[in-house]
Amino acid sequence: MREPTVASLMTREVITADVGSSFKDVVKLLEDNAISAVPVLDGGYPVGVVSEADLLPKEEFRGGGAAEEPGLFAGRAVKHRWEQASGLTAEDVMTVPVKTVSPDTAASAAARELAAEGLRRLFVMDSDGALVGVLSRRDLLKLFLREDEELRTEIRDEIFGQMLWVDPDGIDVEVTDGVVALQGQLERQSQVEVAGHLVRTLPGVVDVRNGLRAEWNDTTHPRQTEIFG
């Protein structure tokens, strides 16, 4: 059972801006392509990102200007937005560094990074530092669009048949809207627990109802009698 990689889920056609792209051209790129951010390239390599949030200070501060400069006790974030408001090019307003991921990164690892950093996307760079794609939250959610029958077949054939060496015909596997229900009997309780874990970690599974039973429980041990000398 191989986990999907970033390369299998990413969007390969990436809309980009150049460091010298004008403020208005960047706004037009976002609007025309219905996207919320673009990577900024310098010589073909990503050096920053311009998002909608990086462009809004132009309206917030009406273009900046010394008369509107934040006061001495204004926070760092406010001062940064004021500086962005005076920007004329993508390089002036972009956020650095670029948050990137490699094409062979596991989908679950990419999802953890997006969650931990509070990001909407990761830009995908190859070993030479070239931009080869973009991975968004939406790209990762596509995993949950797998057909129920596809999931059922993989659970029966790969998890039970190949990994647990169990006859799939002896296990009842039902999948409804990504929710897996398991019924049947295995030899050991440890197998029941492993089966539930493997099914739960299968990409596209929404939840697992593990109704498997075991002939004997090999996960508990009798209390050993202490002998005092």
Q: What's the token pair of residue 191?
A: 């197998």
Which residue has better confidence, 56 or 223?
56
Please report, as a single letter, which amino acid is at residue 227: I
Contacts of residue 127, Cβ cutoff 8 Å, sequence gap at least 6: 102
Burial label for 115, CB within 10 Å (0-12, 13-18, 19+), is: exposed
pLDDT tens, position by position, 205-225: 999 999 999 999 988 765 544
CA distance 171 to 184: 5
**Domains of the chain listed by start with CATH number:** 6-142 (3.10.580.10), 146-216 (3.30.1340.30)
Mean pLDDT of the region 181-208: 96
Q: What angle do CA 87, 88, 89 make, to 5 degrees?
A: 100
Mean pLDDT of the region 24-34: 96
The reported pLDDT for the residue numbered 85 is: 86
Query: In terms of DSSP bridges, do strands 171-176 and 131-136 run parallel, antiparallel, or are they unpaired?
Result: unpaired
Q: Name the region of 178 (left: φ>0; alpha: ψ -120 to 50; beta: rest).
A: left
CA distance 122 to 141: 14
CA distance 52 to 36: 6
Single pTM value for the model: 0.76
pLDDT tens, position by position, 101-144: 999 999 999 999 999 999 999 999 999 989 999 999 999 999 99
CA distance 41 to 151: 40
